Structure 1
Amino acid sequence: MPLPLLDRLESFYDAVPRLDARAEPHGALTLFVRDGGGFPYYARPTIGAGTPTAVDVRLVRERQRELGITQAFEWVHETTPGLLEVVEAAGIAVLRAPLLVLDGPVRTPEVDAVVRVPEPDEPGFLDDVAVVRAVAQLAFSTPGTGLGDTGPRDRDTLLPTVTPVHVPKFRYALAEDAADGVVAVGMTQRAGEVAEVVGVGTLPSARRRGLGAAVTAALAVDALELGVDLVFLSAGSEEIARVYERVGFQRVGTACVAEVE
């Protein structure tokens, strides 16, 4: 029998950080720690250990302060419902992000841009990785779906400062406008037969054109073609979730994200 959906997601969440981080047990929480550079990880409930306590949360926060990293926790509310109360009681605000799973065929929107998924052996691949990171950084600096002034000129100014490091677990997608170049990007990260769509962002000046949905669709199709049988993502808001629903994703729960600098 296949694992239930939420159990498969929990296994994925536990497996992905272990690809490039070490796991430290702290009661019913596991803190994933990266040595050296790269995105700092978070603490998650340990599979099969029950609901983390206030003491577990305090111990993890002390360790994160010792390491000089953000005090961050992530979990799925439906899997560990009691953790929300514990974290909020500690005075940490919690983002409740819609958790969606691809349900049925991918619905790819028609857009006025070329969407592509580059291969690691293609010429210019690391240049593409750098552009993905630059566009994502600018997009997430102005969250939401509203139009804004940040655009290609800001991307080109930021680009020389970006170090293009390819992590093998990632696949990348770029939406390229004929006039303005790459204006929307996204990634998937994979563990086994499960892939998560992450980092989908559009430059504010290019929003409201369906580019984020098109990038998401391209990443989902790419993952399925590579043998994945479960594609999921978390949306930053209900409004953003509706963009993904138009591609074929359906809400199955709530991903909780809590951070303190």
Structure 2
Amino acid sequence: MDLLRSGLFDRLERFYDAVPRDAARAEEHGGLVLFVRQGAGWPFYARPRLDANEAPSLADVAAVRERQRELGLPEAFEWVHETTPGLLAVARSAGLAVLEAPLMVLDPAALPDPGTLTDVPVRMLDAAAPGFAADVAARGAVAAVGFASAGTARGEAGPAQRDAALAGLDDAALDEERVRTADGRRLSALAGTPAEGALASGMAMRVGEVAEIAGVATLPAARRRGLGAAVTAALARQLLAAGTELVFLSAGSEDIARVYLRVGFRRVGTACIAEPAPVTP
């Protein structure tokens, strides 16, 4: 199938452009748009303008980076290589390090039952539950510890490090989580046991009939138990049950992509994530 003619990448571009817009203002800089978050929350990125007639230039990248520094934001850029192929060379010439992440789309027919992937229970977060705030905090703590030790290898960090990383959300951020969870724009999942607590977490962002699964993380001490795959499968199943037609994600590495292959995701392209290259002494 010709993915460009089928409209897949166009649907992905519209999703990427839509996700930040209800929580950020958009600033256009040539062929790029910078999303500046309004209020508390994780800062957004810059990406190619949806309606741009030309690919972003080196001058566009420089202007956005200057604006990001002025606002105290991370110098972060994201795009799909197949949609904007020329930006990869431009970003690297600007001194940015680019992660080329496998971009993967779910084949619903290949999606397994989460219970076949692990014996650890997986549950979805409920905005109306009394423990919702604690669950959101646990999701964030698991992600913080998991992403601090990237990859799929087992490690030492476990529940103690998760508990040390727990941080409460302010009222505005918690209200946003509750509203978006209640109306289906955001889904979250936790895998864990009563004795160990939350061991893996993940979330999904939904706009209409398209959704992205992101932030799937497992405590290093709990890896190699099928938890990341089970969390991903649980999120995907919930999305499909809600009528989502296109479910996708970006894998942080080829090793991580192999986990998602087990869940029914298939590679269709490359998602590029750029930030300043580390300064070597």
How does 1:63-142 map onto structure 2 within 5 Å?
63-105=67-109, 106-108=111-113, 109-142=116-149
Task: Kindly provide the amino acid, as one letter, of the partner of residue 148 in structure 1.
Answer: G
Deviations 1:176-210 (A, max 9, x none): 12431110000001111111000000000000011
Shift of 1:110: 3.0
**Match in the other structure for 2:258:** 242
Q: 1:227 aligns with which of 224, 236, 243?
A: 243
**Match in the other structure for 1:182:** 198
Q: 2:47 aligns with which of 44, 48, 61?
A: 44
Name which of structure 1's ranges 170-179 and 216-225 shifts more when overlaid on structure 2.
Answer: 170-179
Please provide the CA RMSD for this pair: 1.4
Q: Counterparts of 1:70 and 1:42 in 2: how far apart (Å)?
A: 8
Q: What TM-score, normalized by structure 2, do the two folds share?
A: 0.89
Query: Structure 2 stretches of 5 or more lacking a match?
Result: none
Q: Counterparts of 1:255 and 1:10 in 2: how far apart (Å)?
A: 11
**Match in the other structure for 1:57:** 61
Q: Counterparts of 2:79 and 2:159 in 1: how far apart (Å)?
A: 35
Task: Kindly provide the amino acid, as one letter, of the partner of residue 53 in structure 1.
Answer: S
SS at match of 1:232: strand
Q: Counterparts of 1:172 and 1:162 in 2: how far apart (Å)?
A: 16
**Match in the other structure for 1:216:** 232
**Match in the other structure for 1:11:** 14
Q: Counterparts of 1:148 and 1:200 in 2: how far apart (Å)?
A: 17
Contact between 1:113 and 1:178, CA under 8 Å: does it hold in 2? Answer: no
Q: Counterparts of 1:122 and 1:178 in 2: how far apart (Å)?
A: 17
Contact between 2:144 and 2:165, CA under 8 Å: does it hold in 1? Answer: no
Query: Structure 1 stretches of 5 or more lacking a match?
Result: none
**Match in the other structure for 1:163:** 169
Q: What TM-score, normalized by structure 1, do the two folds share?
A: 0.96
Shift of 1:19: 1.9
**Match in the other structure for 1:147:** 154
User: Relative to total residues, which structure has the larger helix share, 1 or 2?
Assistant: 2
Q: Counterparts of 1:146 and 1:249 in 2: how far apart (Å)?
A: 21
Q: Counterparts of 1:134 and 1:251 in 2: how far apart (Å)?
A: 29
Name which of structure 1's ranges 216-225 and 162-171 shifts more when overlaid on structure 2.
Answer: 162-171
Shift of 1:162: 3.2
Identity, % of aligned positions:
58
Deviations 1:94-131 (A, max 9, x none): 00000000013211333121101122112211111110
Which contiguous aligned blocks of 4+ residues in structure 1 show a shift greater than 6 angstroms?
A: none
Task: Kindly provide the amino acid, as one letter, of the partner of residue 33 in structure 1.
Answer: V
Task: Kindly provide the amino acid, as one letter, of the partner of residue 35 in structure 2.
Answer: F
Task: Kindly provide the amino acid, as one letter, of the partner of residue 7 in structure 1.
Answer: D
Deviations 1:154-176 (A, max 9, x none): 112222x3327253132110001
- 1:32 matched to 2:35? The reply is yes
